[in-house]
Amino acid sequence: MDANISYREAAVRGASPVRLVICLYQQAIEDLRRAVIALEKRDAEARTRAINHALVVIGQLQGTLDMERGGDVAKNLDRFYNVVRAGLVDAQFKQSAAILTQQIAQLVLVHEAWLEVERVSSGVPPPAPDPQQLPPPISPPEASLGDWTA
């Protein structure tokens, strides 16, 4: 048995609905990364398999939307999934790594939003900023605006 499959099955059992959505996003992103690699290797079968699986995952995400209770969020996600699906079909037809990469980037953005939803709903405070990642402090200007002439 594949260790990755066992790990995923264990992670899904007992997971919250938000965690399940996050897992589906991770799977779709991984599928599309595999598709890009297959495209670069000119492996049409692997590329098609990866894109088709991503389409199934996106279909699962889209199929679980509660349009009545979800309001505008559900409607926006439905439109988003339609755009992603159309992009994947286009990428497959054109055999375009650029289009696949664009779809990955879009999925990553929404995936990050779901991670934030999970963080907020669990009551975990945001992580402290890494001091090495902060921009340098802005030094005061040498001259004041009163010294400026046009």
The pTM score is 0.76
Between CA 25 and CA 33 the distance in angstroms is 12
148 in any annotated domain: no
Degrees (nearest 5) of the Cα angle 12, 17, 19? Answer: 55
Question: In this structure, is residue 146 part of a structural domain?
Answer: no
Domain limits at 32?
17-124
In whole angstroms, give the CA distance from residue 123 to residue 98: 38
| Residue 52 CB contacts under 8 Å (≥ 6 apart), including other chains | none
Which one is predicted more confidently, 1 or 23?
23
Q: Is residue 43 part of a domain?
A: yes
* Residue 98 included in any domain: yes
pLDDT band at 123 (very low <50, low <70, confident <90, very high): confident
Total count of domains within the chain: 1
Of the chain, the end-to-end C-alpha distance in Å amounts to: 74
- Residue 125 pLDDT > 90, yes or no? no
Angle between helices 97-122 and 67-94 (to 10 degrees): 150
Give tens-digit pLDDT for 55-85: 999 999 999 999 999 999 999 999 999 999 9
CATH code for the domain of 66? 1.20.120.340
**Which region among 9-13, 63-67, 86-90, 117-121 has the lowest average model confidence (pLDDT)?**
9-13
pLDDT tens string 82-106: 999 999 999 999 999 999 999 999 9
Check residue 142 and give its pLDDT. 47
